[in-house]
Amino acid sequence: MSATTTTTKLLERVKDLKQIPTIPAVLAPLLRYLEQPVEDLDIQKVTDVIAQDKALAAQCLRMANSPLFGRFQKIDSLRTAILGLGFQRVSDIAMSCGVLNLTPKDTGGIDPVVFWEHSLGCALVCRHFARTISYPDPRKAYLAGLLHDLGIVVNLWSFPEEFRRVFERARSQRIPLHEAEQAVLGFTHCDSGSLLAENWDLSADLHAVVSLHHCSYESSEHAPLIAVVELADLLCRMSGLNYGYLENRQVNVLEQPGFAVLLQKFPALRDFDWARLTFELDSYMDEVHGLVHAIYRK
């Protein structure tokens, strides 16, 4: 199918959709706020934003009191909860709850939590990886990881029946989801995500990540950010932070397009110890699983 036909088909379906996901009320100001330089970030402002959403405020309190964070004293004020959790963890929780509310109630038997586990896992791995290679904006890498698979939300809303077949095919053949989408739908979550990113008016670099993370993106001006996401996404899909099934293929990170892109920008990667990162990720994954389970599996 040509690119134009794909876009037309998608636009037709998405236009008809009465309940196109809108950016959650709390997520929009948080996304904007997180774009600020780190020295301008203020915990009180975050508290004010979160306080507007009762469910989210309750979730922060529940998390702050979770044994995961080793709390022995009951915390019952939102501000104390936020101070106890720390800004970074509060953002993780807020963003994760915000995006989880985007999925439709009926997903035809697909557990939407696995997608958000993958997205949050990818966000955390992106940030960790970005810091490890001295990528200049680890917070942006985090956001990019969290939002990269936004197109899956559109597919769940707009093409529930077809997407259920996509998912069954991907899981039974143990192939990457975007390959199954291309075979069944004729487009991927990159195409549908691009429409939502436009609808939400995401910044150009996040839009590029959503649209291009399974494509050739080497000539994009945002190639380094997409590369961080591509590699983190791959590491997640090859580990326990996948879409609920393990793909049946051997992947060498050093042969990925993203590696070549990053190597140009960060020559230190030449001597990078991948075995060590993989080893670190193994223990890091346990932490990620703990966090996503605490957020999503109540």
Beta-carbon count within 10 A of 29 CB: 16
Judged by phi (left if over 0) then psi (alpha if -120 to 50, else beta), residue 186 lies in left
* Listed ranges 34-42, 143-151, 255-263, 290-298: which one lies at the site for Fe ion (CB under 5 A): 143-151
Tell me if 233 contacts Fe ion by CB under 5 A: yes
> Which C-beta is closer to Fe ion: that of 53 or that of 230?
230
> Which C-beta is closer to Fe ion: that of 81 or that of 146?
146
* Listed ranges 31-39, 65-73, 142-150, 193-201: which one lies at the site for Fe ion (CB under 5 A): 142-150
The token pair at 70 is 């080793």
Tell me if 181 contacts Fe ion by CB under 5 A: no
Report how far apart, in Å, the C-alpha atoms of 191 and of each of 71, 179, 181, 214, 278 are.
Answer: 44, 13, 11, 10, 31
d(CA 267, CA 111): 41
Tell me if 230 contacts Fe ion by CB under 5 A: no
> Which C-beta is closer to Fe ion: that of 149 or that of 205?
149
* Listed ranges 45-53, 105-113, 134-142, 229-237: which one lies at the site for Fe ion (CB under 5 A): 229-237
Work out how close the CB of 71 gets to Fe ion at its nearest, in angstroms, rounded to a whole number. 32
> Which C-beta is closer to Fe ion: that of 92 or that of 233?
233
d(CA 101, CA 203): 21
Q: Which residue is nearest to Fe ion (CB)?
A: 233
Binding mask 75-94 for Fe ion (x = CB under 5 A): --------------------
The alpha carbons of the chain give a radius of gyration, in whole angstroms, of 19
Using an 8 Å Cβ cutoff, are 94 and 123 in contact? no
d(CA 198, CA 195): 5
> Which C-beta is closer to Fe ion: that of 78 or that of 115?
115
* Listed ranges 99-107, 108-116, 231-239, 257-265: which one lies at the site for Fe ion (CB under 5 A): 231-239
Smallest CA-to-CA distance from 288 within 117, 139, 97 is with 117
Which position among 53, 92, 149, 191 is part of the footprint of Fe ion (CB under 5 A)?
149
* Listed ranges 17-25, 28-36, 166-174, 233-241: which one lies at the site for Fe ion (CB under 5 A): 233-241
d(CA 28, CA 34): 10
Tell me if 205 contacts Fe ion by CB under 5 A: no
Using an 8 Å Cβ cutoff, are 253 and 234 in contact? yes
The token pair at 85 is 């959790």
The token pair at 160 is 């529930």
> Which C-beta is closer to Fe ion: that of 24 or that of 151?
151
> Which C-beta is closer to Fe ion: that of 51 or that of 238?
238
Work out how close the CB of 7 gets to Fe ion at its nearest, in angstroms, rounded to a whole number. 18
Contact set with Fe ion (CB under 5 A):
149, 233
